[in-house]
Structure 1
Amino acid sequence: MGRSEQHILSQNPVTNNCPECFNQDLTLTFYQKHLRGNLFDRITSELSHELKCNTCDTVIYPVSWTDDIERSVEYYQKAVKPEKPVVKFRPLFFVVVILGILLAGTLIYLVLRGAI
């Protein structure tokens, strides 16, 4: 079909302690999934997030979150404004549709004239 991309919606600093190295240098990133194809580009409503420590460079999964981190993530999650789900057609789509209409019109014309 096409390729899937994660578009960054926002990056927020979180001042809670990292469960791995206990530093306060965390970044919470929110992503929205975009699908890119030959005929169309589609923005989905699918959101995801990642909490990463900038000091020890590890991704902190929800299993090891503390209550403070959970509250911070919930706060920032409410503030994220995702893009509206939209399908944008590319020029190749319109070329294919026009060629299909022309082909169908030609076939109908030939059938009515008795050539086929």
Structure 2
Amino acid sequence: MKRKTHILHTAPIKNNCPTCFGTDGLEFTFIQEEKETPFFKKPAIEIENKLYCKTCKNDIYPVDWTEDIERVFDYNKKIAETNKQYLKVKPLFYISVVVAIVLVAAVVYILIPS
């Protein structure tokens, strides 16, 4: 099973970094993972987020966020559009369904005498 990640939204913000106190390096990234098997593709329900400071080159964890950063996070989370929840079926799924139906029909035809 393969997993792909899609960046939904990236937003540079002008808040102070809690580590280096710089105002020009913070950036939010919202990421969604997609699961792919031979039969289907399906995006994950949860959205991962990351706050990174380009100035001090550190990830800033939610424990260190200030109220201002949390407000900007809530705003950007609303902007980040998630991929709609879907289940994209691949051709191999349809082939296996048709083969299963044919096998069931063959078994029923053989077992029921006419």
TM-score (norm 1): 0.88
Q: Which residue identity lines up with residue 97 of structure 1 in the other structure?
A: V
Instruction: Please give the per-residue CA displacement for 1:19-61, whole angstroms capped at 9, x wherever unaligned.
Output: 1122221110111231111110012331121101112221110
Structure 2 unmatched ranges of 5 or more: none
SS in 2 for 1:22: coil
Residue identity (%):
36
Instruction: Please give the per-residue CA displacement for 1:56-105, whole angstroms capped at 9, x wherever unaligned.
Output: 22111000011111111111112222121000011111111111111111
Residue 7 of structure 1: aligned partner: 6
| CA contact 1:44–1:86 (8 Å) conserved in 2 | no
Residue 17 of structure 1: aligned partner: 16
Structure 1 unmatched ranges of 5 or more: none
- 1:12 Cα shift? 0.5
SS in 2 for 1:7: strand
Question: In structure 2, how many angstroms separate the alpha carbons of the residues matched to 1:66 and 1:45?
Answer: 27
Residue 81 of structure 1: aligned partner: 81
| CA contact 1:9–1:31 (8 Å) conserved in 2 | yes
Question: In structure 1, how many angstroms separate the alpha carbons of the residues matched to 2:78 and 2:72?
Answer: 10
Q: Which runs of 4+ in 1 moved over 3 A?
A: none
SS in 1 for 2:112: helix
- 2:69 aligned with 1:58: no
TM-score (norm 2): 0.90
